[in-house]
């Protein structure tokens, strides 16, 4: 079996593969890879080689792609999945390196190390500019995954108070790290230092902006070694110039390398060129880890850290695929619509849904719950482990459905403590394979589970549909479909709506919706590729 190593990884990883019986290891470059693809069964890359549709087309025997690193932006996941090629990454391999660099930036910012070093080199002895201690200061972590957890443990050693905002980790898991979970606004208001460790998503893009900065403690300092797009660079630059923000230390930028970034050159900004995870140890670790994963998959079929669906038989794929999509979208819907952090996920299967592999459906539900907020891709392969690590409990049951659609899946996002109210959605797959929702919190309605959806809860009164439509019209937002259901046939009864909207829809439409007299709740939900 031929394994191509297209980008430089650790020698230990290459040697491990070469010593494995039955493997023919070929180290290529961008100029020689094309000639080796025809009979390759596995491909190992870092970030330089782009695994495109064209490249995959030249490798008809390819079974696996291993990415030495977390991100898989250089791999066409959709095409790889379509071809039955398993894609694996190496999450966590550089967590310590990123955490250490985060703390290096934090300390350099607190003690003004670059500024003082520069002054000394220029012959100035600026002994009075000594910065501030981090002891007893409050560190606010936005994201408490692998890297955020490593940062938290280091902050404890520096006698810092650590608070965190992470909607998808349980109170018990945070408590083990001696971290207090708080709402985002509370984190902004109380943190002396704010460090970003969240994935990039529609909800987190530009989350550090003029509005959020106004909620922060005056003089707070910001550290970002996650994603450049989390920060509105223009807004942060203005806050740094005015003194509203005391300083920023950045390893990532929207454009890399930065060319017209307003932050570069400011006296209270420290910058490094996206090297937080690029230590010798981290590269050694991910290089060895990806080699082990490829070896074990080829030799024994063991799958670790997959970021797409594993290959299935034609019959399995035909039966499971529609319900997997339904499960993932129901998980995403209930998590986005729930009022509180889900501590438990309840799944109820009926009919054929209970016969096609509930372990796969459970994983797909969890992927929908977790996928938008994590650094690495979550799917049916790794979702259970990720959920368990974050303290997310799962309850399952099968049932008979006497009326209506016999084959259904119901997903509920429930608070950590039993007995409290949650949010549920029930759905099915239609004859054409499309996933549909059938009920919200027990209220019957039917809607397509795709795109941008405005979820409304309201009192059933005359004129609600008209006022919603006219308000959206004034905002320039077009309605694709409008699905309405109510709990009982009585004026004033509780009603819910799922309004599918066309195009890109900003969160700013929610305020006018909430201002309508009959509306009691309004949220934007984004499902599928929206």
Which of 274, 319, 407, 526 is catalytic? The answer is 274
Q: Among this protein's residues, is 227 annotated catalytic?
A: yes
Alpha helix segments (H runs only) across 71-170: 77-82, 95-111, 113-121, 146-157
β-strands 423-429, 435-440 pairing: antiparallel
Q: How many CB atoms are located within 10 Å of the residue 279 CB?
A: 16
Structure tokens at 27: 């180290």
The Cα 319–Cα 364 span in angstroms is: 14
528 exposure class (CB count in 10 Å sphere: 0-12, 13-18, 19+): middle
Rounded Cα distance between 334 and 319, Å, is 24
DSSP class of 306: B
The structure tokens listed for 337 are: 């619509």
Tokens encoding 51: 């695994």
For 192, the token pair is 């002396």
Catalytic site residue from 46, 67, 227, 457: 227
Q: Cα angle at 426 between 403 and 471, to 5 degrees? A: 115
206: left (phi over 0), alpha (psi -120 to 50) or beta: left
Q: Give whole-number Cα distances, 397 to 68, 134, 439, in Å.
A: 39, 50, 18
**Residue 256 annotated as catalytic:** yes
First-last CA distance in the chain: 40
CA distances from 120 to 125, 130, 180, 264 (A): 6, 13, 40, 21
Catalytic residue among 256, 355, 395, 397: 256
Distance from C-alpha of 306 to C-alpha of 89, rounded to nearest angstrom: 7
d(CA 143, CA 373): 9
Task: Classify the phi-psi angles of 127: left when phi > 0, otherwise alpha if psi is within -120 to 50, otherwise beta.
Answer: alpha
Active site residue 436: no
Residues 232 and 207: their CA atoms lie apart, in Å, by 7
Write the CB contacts of 500 (distance below 8 Å, at least 6 apart in sequence). 447, 448, 450, 451, 452, 453, 454, 479, 480, 481, 482, 483
DSSP structure string for 315-332: HHHHHHHHHHHHHHHHHH
Active-site amino acid positions: 227, 256, 274
């Amino acid at each position: 079996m031929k394994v191509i190593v297209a980008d430089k990884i650790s020698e230990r990883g290459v040697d491990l593969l070469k010593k494995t019986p039955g493997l023919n290891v070929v180290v290529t470059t961008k100029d020689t890879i094309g000639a080796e693809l025809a009979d390759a069964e596995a491909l190992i890359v870092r970030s330089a080689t782009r695994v495109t549709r064209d490249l995959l087309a030249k490798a008809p025997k390819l079974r696996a792609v291993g990415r030495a690193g977390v991100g898989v932006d250089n791999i066409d996941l959709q095409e790889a999945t379509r071809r039955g090629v398993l894609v694996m990454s190496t999450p966590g391999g550089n967590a310590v390196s990123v955490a250490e660099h985060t703390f290096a930036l934090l300390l350099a910012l607190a003690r003004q190390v670059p500024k003082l070093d520069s002054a000394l080199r220029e012959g100035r002895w600026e002994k009075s500019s000594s910065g501030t201690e981090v002891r007893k200061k409050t560190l606010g972590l936005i994201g408490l995954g692998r890297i955020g957890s490593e940062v938290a443990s280091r902050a404890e050693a520096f006698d810092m108070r650590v608070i965190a905002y992470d909607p998808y980790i349980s109170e018990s898991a945070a408590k083990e790290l001696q971290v207090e979970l708080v709402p985002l606004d509370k984190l902004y208001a109380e943190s002396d230092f704010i460090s970003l460790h969240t994935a990039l998503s529609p909800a987190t893009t530009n989350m550090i902006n003029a509005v959020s900065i106004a909620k922060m403690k005056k003089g707070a300092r910001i550290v970002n070694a996650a994603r450049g797009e989390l920060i509105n660079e223009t807004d942060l630059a203005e806050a740094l110039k005015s003194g509203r923000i005391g300083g920023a230390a950045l390893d990532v930028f929207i454009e890399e390398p930065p060319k017209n970034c307003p932050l570069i050159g400011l006296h209270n900004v420290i910058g490094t060129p996206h090297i937080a995870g690029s230590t010798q140890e981290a590269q050694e670790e991910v290089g060895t880890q990806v080699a082990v994963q490829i070896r074990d998959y080829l030799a024994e079929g063991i799958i670790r850290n997959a970021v797409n669906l594993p290959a299935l038989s034609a019959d399995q794929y035909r039966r499971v695929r529609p319900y997997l999509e339904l499960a993932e979208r129901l998980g995403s819907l209930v998590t986005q619509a729930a009022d509180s952090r889900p501590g438990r996920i309840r799944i109820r299967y009926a009919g054929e849904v209970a016969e096609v592999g509930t372990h796969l459906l459970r994983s797909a539900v969890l992927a929908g719950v977790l996928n938008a907020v994590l650094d690495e891709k979550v799917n049916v392969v790794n979702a259970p482990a990720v959920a368990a690590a974050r303290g997310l409990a799962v309850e399952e049951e099968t049932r008979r459905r006497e009326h209506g659609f016999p084959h259904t899946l119901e997903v509920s996002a429930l608070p950590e403590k039993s007995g409290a109210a949650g949010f549920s959605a029930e759905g099915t797959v239609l004859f054409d394979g499309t996933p549909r929702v059938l009920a919200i919190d027990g209220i019957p309605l039917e809607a397509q589970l795709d795109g941008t959806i405005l979820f409304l809860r309201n009192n059933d009164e005359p004129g609600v549909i008209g006022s919603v439509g006219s308000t959206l019209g004034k905002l320039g937002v077009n309605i694709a479909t409008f699905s309405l259901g109510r709990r009982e046939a009585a004026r004033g009864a509780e009603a819910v709506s799922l309004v599918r909207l066309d195009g890109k829809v900003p969160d700013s439409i929610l305020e006018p919706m909430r201002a309508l007299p009959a509306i009691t709740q309004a949220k934007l939900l984004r499902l599928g590729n929206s």
